[in-house]
Structure 1
Amino acid sequence: MREPKLILGPDLVKLVAEIDEFKGRWEALKTLSPDRLSALRRVATIESVGSSTRIEGAKLSDIEVEDLLSRAISVQSFKTRDEQEVAGYAEAMDLVFEVYTDMRLTENHIRQLHQTLLRHSEKDSRHRGAYKTLPNNVVALDAEGREIGVIFETASPFDTPREMEQLVSWTRKALDEESLHPLLVIAVFVVTFLAIHPFQDGNGRLSRVLTTLLLLRLGYAYVPYASLERVIEENKDLYYKALRRTQTTLKKDVPDWEPWIGFFLRCLKKQKDGLAARLERERAGQGSESELPELSLQVIKALKAKERLTIAQLAEITGANRNTLKVRLRELVTTGRIRQHGRARATWYSL
């Protein structure tokens, strides 16, 4: 892999500085109680899992994602491909959050995360954690799902191991030697990884898991509390345009890195701006109900109408899974939005 020649304009330099300034202030900013931070992190995780899988075509809403994950411990298999992808993405993210300090960027760890990502995907069992053996060019489809042309030609199965070895080696060297700002190294890694498309399936989702891993390892500790995947989903068309504009130049003598790096940095800015706004509202005692999960909003609405309700009554009103409902009720009690009365079967709730 050739050493990227990056010349940033003043706007992008300003973005890098702004993101790093937030990174430096994070410890002072996170003055919320552990319970509030935990609730914030859970909402961000649900958003990340839902958004990242929907970018690739899944249809589950955030409420459906949350309901599925609340049942995941007791569920042995998942009925649909959407459910399989959601469960796998959640497990891959959990693994990153738990062990990122010990998970260096290596090909073995990349394959391990891919295996976790596709753990529940029945049709992918043959190639979990293994580089592709068949071409997987990015193609255009017609309204009936038939292939009508190649949009982008990815690395061949033969070239993939060599290109992945070079990419991982360059990324680690660039980070260790600080030859480029770490955010730029991550951006170059991601766009090149997706150009290689090393696995038969799951490359887009894995690229976002790896982005989170690298950001955490490089000290961007606020990342679990705000969903970068949600920002990308909200700008999905721009995401694909930026990728293609840079990827189509990668084999030229001077690749055009700016479209992708600009998009990536602007997404990171939106991620940290959204988190800063949430923290400000929380600190001001104005924790906006609009930031709550949909089920929590339904619970508050029901209690405004009825004044006191049991879990059974709330489950009937909302139609929610009882395990998910218990999680939402516990969060609402912990954050002081509702009160719990009684114990066991005699428990009821009020505002």
Structure 2
Amino acid sequence: MRSFADLDGLVGRVPSGLVATLSTVDVGRGSEALFRDQLPGLLGQLEHRARVQSITASSAIEGIVVPDIARADRILSGQARTLRTRSEQEFAGYRDAQDYLFRGDWQPLNAGLLVHLHKLLFAHTPVIGGRFKHEDNLVVDRSPDGDITVRFRPVPAAQTDFYISELVDRYKAAVHTGLHHPVLLVGLFILDFLVIHPFEDGNGRVARAVTNALLMSSGYGVSRYVSLEQTIAESADEYYQALLDSTKDWHEGSHDPWPWLRYFVDVLAAAYGTFADRAAAGRSGGSKMERVRDYVTHHAQPVFRMADVRAALPGISDQTIRMALDRMRHEQLIAVDGLGRAASWRRIQSPSR
């Protein structure tokens, strides 16, 4: 809410480096429709992969982990009838919240949507979700020796309803004017939401889910195909530091949003870069073995599974993928850990293009 009090003064002058990054994001946005027309099969595979990574990564950021890969797959597919642990329950909750948003049948942004997402997060747990906090809370860091440092003080519980309503109204008004870049407005909304911290638990997960929804409603749909949550999980230190730097003096209205906005826009630009790389790999020429080799060498994560290659390269058989991976293993370009479906591969070196 504070970030929208004086938008012209706060983000009227975008730093030059960020202008270039926003341009990269906008170019990426323009390619989405082209790829949807040319590579519908590939995008369907990428969408499935991003869904799995987003649910897994956003949960892991909060310490919610389902270590058995086969078990996690059953939960994600809805085949697990019984959720055995609290982690499995919350894992399924993020699945439900993200799937609800990605179906696209949610109403325009309002406080009710945020509350509903929170209810979905905790629907499988004993916790009563779907309501704003009743007590004041703090966001703290706990050191290994037990010391507690206050990261920031959220809005008091008694003022949560007012602040959330104001934030939603001001965000929607800013979008309507069209005077500021929509990606910056989404970033500011998330920053203010996290400082308000409207729920006793689950604020980060609601924020990350809403990020995807707001970007999609603004025409930036890359999170359907590349997991933003995965990138955040891989840069968690930078994520928390950017938030810390930008929440200082928020209550006084004199905070600096740019550390957070730089991080946020960088994550989005990286996602579009990954999207373009995967799309290029999907339509590249050469033999199928060469396409697998190119994907593993230049586009896959440092540690990947066969399912990742299969998702990125639809139309290439598992046998061909295995042959290509085995050849690269003999060349000592990659190594395998584990056996069967649980096996993962890791790059040992990346030859130049």
Q: Same fold (TM over 0.5)?
A: yes
For 1:318, the equivalent position in structure 2 comes to 340
Unaligned runs of 5+ in 1: 306-316, 321-351
The answer as to 2:39 corresponding to 1:3 is no
Give per-residue Cα distances to partners, 1:130-160, cap 9 Å, x unaligned.
000122211122437x562322111111111
Deviation at 1:24, TM superposition (A): 1.5
Partner of 2:119: 115
Indicate the SS of the match to 2:238. Answer: helix
Say which is worse superposed, 218-227 or 185-194, in terms of deviation. Answer: 218-227
The residue number in structure 2 matching 1:88 is 93
Check the 8 A contact 1:48/1:227 in 2, yes or no: yes
How high is the sequence identity, in percent, across the aligned residues? 29
- 1:46 and 1:65 in contact (8 A); partners too: no
1:55 to 61, 77, 83: 61
Listed one character per residue, the Cα deviations across residues 194-230 of structure 1 (whole Å, up to 9, x for unaligned) are: 0011011100000011001101111113320111111
What CA distance in whole angstroms lies between the structure 1 residues aligned with 2:76 and 2:181? Answer: 39
Structure 1 residue corresponding to 2:47, chosen from 41, 56, 66: 41
Distance 1:223 1:302 in 2: 26
2:33 to 27, 31, 34: 27
CA separation of 1:208/1:117 partners in 2, compared to 1, >3 Å: closer, same or farther?
A: same
Report if the CA contact (8 A) 1:139-1:148 is conserved: yes
Please state whether the residue corresponding to 1:151 is helix, strand or coil.
strand
3-state SS in 2 of match to 1:103:
coil
Asked if the contact 2:86/2:125 (under 8 Å) is kept, the reply is yes
| Aligned partner of residue 272 in structure 1, secondary structure | helix
Deviation at 1:249, TM superposition (A): 2.5
Residues 244, 18 of structure 1: alpha-carbon distance in 2 compared, 3 angstrom cutoff? same
Paired residues of 1:53 and 1:205 also in contact (CA < 8 A): yes
CA shift digits 1:60-101 (9 cap, x unpaired): 3593574233552441x311222112111111111111125x
Distance 1:43 1:172 in 2: 31
Could you report, residue by residue, the CA deviation over 1:13-35 in whole angstroms, capped at 9, with x for unpaired residues? 11112111211221113355433
Q: Structure 1 segments of 4 or more deviating over 6 A?
A: none
TM-score (norm 1): 0.79
Structure 2 distance, partners of 1:137, 1:32, is: 49
Which residue of structure 2 aligns with residue 314 of structure 1? none
Query: Over the residues paired in the alignment, what is the CA RMSD in angstroms?
Result: 2.8
Letter of the 1:3 partner, please give it.
D
Matched residue of 1:158: which SS? helix
Quick one: distance in 2 between partners of 1:271 and 1:213? Answer: 15
Counterpart position of 1:312? none
Find out whether 1:137 has 2:138 as its counterpart.
Answer: yes
Q: Which residue of 1 aligns with 2:107?
A: 103
Structure 1 stretch displaced more, 65-74 or 2-11: 65-74
3-state SS of 2:157 partner: coil
Cα distance in 1 for partners of 2:68, 2:176 equals 38
Q: Which residue of 1 aligns with 2:305?
A: 294
For 2:190, the equivalent position in structure 1 comes to 190
1:235 aligns with 2:213: no
Q: For 2:71 and 2:155, how far apart are their aligned partners in 1?
A: 33
Alpha-carbon distance in 2 for matches of 1:319, 1:25 = 34
How many residue pairs get aligned? The number is 305
Question: Aligned AA for 2:107?
Answer: M
Aligned AA for 1:88?
G
**Aligned mates of 2:139, 2:221 — CA distance in 1:** 33
Deviation at 1:235, TM superposition (A): 0.7
Match of 1:206 in 2: 206
What letter is aligned with 2:110? T
The whole-number CA distance in structure 1 between the counterparts of 2:176 and 2:70 is 41
| Aligned AA (2:240) | Y
1:179 & 1:254 partners in 2: Cα distance?
Answer: 22
